[in-house]
Amino acid sequence: MGEKLFEDIENFFTFLDECLNVNLLIAEDRIEKTNDQKKEDEDRNKKSKRKGLFDEILDMHMGLGDPYIMIKEEKGKLLEDVEQRIISCKLCELHKERKRAVPGDGSPTARVVFVGEAPGFEEDKKGKPFVGKSGNLLMSKIKEILSLDRSEVYITNVVRCRPPQNRTPERSEIEKCSPYLFEELEIISPQLVVALGAPAAKVLLMKDEKITELRGNFYRRSDYTVFVTFHPAYVLRNPNVMELFNEDFKKIAEFLRST
Ligand code: URA
C-alpha cells in the first residue's frame, strides 16, 4: 500500500514535470514567434514607409507633369490663338484677293525663327509658309547646314496674305500685319531670329539700310538676336550669291552650337 502511494506520488510529479516542460516549450515558442512577428512588422512598416514616400514623389510628378511638355502645350495654344486671328484678319486690302491667309508654322519652342516677306502662289494655295521653290531652298539649308527638321524651327512672314503678282508689301500693309509677327516672337521666345531679305530685316531691326550692308551680321536685341541673310527667292534668281548664303547658314549653325 505504502509502495503504491510512493509510486502514485512519483507519477504525479513526473506528470507535473511534463506539464511544466510542455508549458515552457509553448512559452519559448511564443516568445520566438513574437520576435519573428515583430521583425516582420518592422519590415512591413519600413516597406510601407518607403512605398509611401515613393508614391508621394510619383504623385507630385504626375500632378505637375513634364514642365517642357507643358510649356510647349501652353505656347502651342497661344500660337493657335494668333493663328485664328490671322486666318480671319481683314485689317488691310490684301485679304480681298487671298485664297488663304498664312500663319506661322513650326515648333512653339523653336530656338530659331525664320522670317520671310509675304506668301507667294503656293503658300496662298496651301495656307503654309515657304512651301514653294523658295521654301525648298530654305528647307535644304536648314536640313543640310543646321541639321534641323522643319518641325524643329519656326517659319513665318512679315505679311500673311499674298500681295497681287507677288509685289513687295506696302508700308501700311506691313504696319497692320507685323504685330502678328511680334506676338509670335514673344510667345516662342527664340534665341535667334533670321531675317530673310530686306522687308524682314527692316521690320525686325527698324533700320532702313540695304540688305548688302546688313546681311551676314548678328544684331543683339533685348529678347533675342537677329541675323540677316538673303531671301531664298533672291538667291534662286542670283545663283552667284549661293556661296554667301551657305556661309550665312554656317554662321547660324555656329551661333546655335555655341549658345
Ligand atoms: N516667300 C516668302 O517671303 N514667304 C513665303 O512664305 C514664301 C515665299
Q: pLDDT of 126-156, one tens digit each? A: 999 999 999 999 999 999 999 999 999 999 9
In the prediction, which pLDDT does 241 show?
A: 98
Domain 72-258 annotated CATH 3.40.470.10: yes
Cα–ligand 1 centroid distance for 130 (angstroms): 5
Number of the ligand 1 atom closest to the C-alpha atom of 157: 4
Atom of ligand 1 nearest to the CA of 129: 6
Determine the residue type at 252: I
The model's pLDDT over 104-124, given as tens digits with 9 standing for 90+, comes to: 999 999 999 999 999 999 999
Between CA 127 and CA 239 the distance in angstroms is 28
What is the residue with the minimal CA distance to atom 7 of ligand 1? 130
| Ligand 1 pocket residue status of 156, Cβ below 6 Å | no
| 2-54 per-position pLDDT tens digit | 566 656 666 666 666 665 555 555 555 555 556 667 667 666 565 545 556 66
Query: How close is the Cα of 174 to the center of ligand 1, in Å?
Result: 14
**What does the alpha-carbon distance between residue 161 and residue 124 come to, in Å, rounded to a whole number?**
7
* pLDDT surpassing 80 at residue 215: yes
Cell of 143: 536640313
Alpha-carbon distance of 143 to 149, in angstroms, equals 6
Distance 116 CA to ligand 1 centre (A): 5
What's the half-sphere exposure (Cβ side, CA atoms, 13 Å) at 194? 27
Question: Taking the domains of the chain in order of start, what are their residue ranges?
Answer: 72-258
State the average pLDDT over residues 163-177. 97
Q: What is the pLDDT of residues 226-259, one digit of tens each?
A: 999 999 999 999 999 999 999 999 999 999 999 9
Q: Give residues with Cβ within 8 angstroms of 149, minimum separation 6.
A: 142, 143
SS3 160: coil
Task: Give yes or no for a contact between 195 and 229, defined as CB atoms under 8 angstroms apart.
Answer: yes
CA atoms of 160 and 137, how far apart (whole Å): 20
Does the C-beta of 229 come closer than 6 Å to ligand 1? no
